[in-house]
Structure 1
Amino acid sequence: MLHRWHRSNLRANFKLRRLKQVPTEGRHLRKEDRERERERRIKVAQCMKDSERQREINRICMTAQRRMERCMVGTRLLATRTNAWLRGVTKVKDEVTSAIERKWTYSWRLAISADVK
């Protein structure tokens, strides 16, 4: 049995291989247009692969944060406590959500900055 990360990586590689193929309905296109379409499909597949990897990283971070919060409170995994209850007791902010907020805040500041490099 493959690990979950390997399965998602295989799935992404399969999508990448499939998207690298030149479309059959575009055989009447010029060679340059076919190459441009192929490059576009490769970029799309790479973005899909990166987003799957990012989802896996986010899942690992959420699991680690929840485990840390359980250690802070002193509960075991078998004591089924909801995430809202743990966050209420520990007063810890969600790490994945705060990272996304920091990313968008930085990108907004970068977009409206006056000094263009």
Structure 2
Amino acid sequence: MATSSTTPPPATDLAWYVDAIDDDAPYAERSKHEAETLVHGFIGGENNPFGVPVAAVERAVLEVGADLYYRRLARNGITSFEGDMAPQPMRLNRDPMTAAYPFLRPFLVSGL
């Protein structure tokens, strides 16, 4: 289903989320695929044996995919995002799953 200019893009569209255009779009798609692999590995596979809600999985994939996408721009793990004020350098997480854990952990069985 194509989206019109008045319809917002799907919430799971990583290219839209990271503003990847033209030549960056394939890299965003690759980042999303890698994020899906990481997230599904964390929750026990694509069959989702713990019953993590679809919305939580999709948001986790989006956050992990964005982290992986922005790593390309982060020299030595440090990046800065443009804005109205002076750019503030910040270090990216070493673990791309860091942003996904709060979305996924409440639904997973923890050890005793």
Identify the TM-score tier after normalising by the shorter chain: 0.3 to 0.5
Which structure would you say has the larger Rg?
Answer: 1
TM superposition score normalised by structure 2: 0.33
The structure with higher relative contact order (CA 8 Å, sep 6+) is 2
Higher helix share: 1
TM superposition score normalised by structure 1: 0.32
